[in-house]
Copies of this chain bind each other. A is one copy, B any other.
Amino acid sequence: MTRVLVVDDEPQIVRALAINLKARGYDVDTAGDGTAALTAAADRHPDVVLLDLGLPDIDGVEVIKGLRGWTRIPIIVLSARHASAEKVAALDAGADDYVTKPFGMDELLARLRAAVRRAVPEEEAPVVVTDSFTVDLAAKRVSRDGADVRLTPTEWHLLEVLVRHAGRLVSQRALLQEVWGPQYGTETNYLRVYMAQLRRKLEHDPSHPRHLLTEPGMGYRFEG
């Protein structure tokens, strides 16, 4: 799913954008100022950023430069300023597109699709290796002893969340909400069933897991 980071200091605009984007199947993160935007971008690795230029703390162009210091993800600027100089500055700082407010939602969504479409797929280190299995996050495939292991969608989703937080503890609540949806949070029996299945498919000794670890009372942890 495409992840969008919406940056604007006006909550109602953020809310309106978030609702529209989620309705179209996008995954939405939000930030209310430049600092939060830079943190969220580093944290959540969005696929595209919608950036308002008029932020309370940092100038929007500086946010663009900050992002461009380490990533080439598409940045679409939203701004009430029509001045040519503003547009040139933002585009030359590294923005991909510049949309002036007020804008039509249809047009914005089309520009968003265009930006995502031409984006170079981010190739981070998507392959995680342990001594008993290998997880390729980009290709969505898991292999063990050279042979591919078939995972069901839920099994894969759960494994993916754990691997993306490799080494860190992920609470049961966080796992449930990420994999099953925000309205879940207490159905820990799901986790028990699926963790057992993952261990059976991936661990050499499923009853003494070395990579898919339980932290009793807290959650689970993937150890590389």
Q: Are A84 and B107 in contact (CB under 8 A)?
A: yes
A97 cross-chain contacts in B, Cβ below 8 A: 97, 114
Task: Given A139-B168, A168-B140, verify A84-B96 contact (CB < 8 Å).
Answer: no
Q: Are A218 and B168 in contact (CB under 8 A)?
A: no
Docked complex: A1-36 residues within 8 A CB-CB of B? 1, 25
Quick check: is A43 within 8 A (CB to CB) of the other chain? no
Quick check: is A66 within 8 A (CB to CB) of the other chain? no
Q: How large is the interface on A (under 10, 10 to 19, 20 to 34, 35 or more residues)?
A: 35 or more
Q: Are B88 and A107 in contact (CB under 8 A)?
A: yes
Q: Are A168 and B25 in contact (CB under 8 A)?
A: no
Main secondary structure on A side of the interface with B = mixed
Q: Are A152 and B88 in contact (CB under 8 A)?
A: no
Q: Are B140 and A113 in contact (CB under 8 A)?
A: no
Docked complex: A158-177 residues within 8 A CB-CB of B? 167-169, 173
Q: Are B114 and A95 in contact (CB under 8 A)?
A: yes
Task: Given A84-B106, A85-B106, A173-B25, verify A140-B96 contact (CB < 8 Å).
Answer: no
A87 cross-chain contacts in B, Cβ below 8 A: 106-107, 110
A20–chain B nearest beta-carbon distance, Å = 14
Quick check: is A69 within 8 A (CB to CB) of the other chain? no
Quick check: is A80 within 8 A (CB to CB) of the other chain? no
Q: Are B113 and A91 in contact (CB under 8 A)?
A: yes
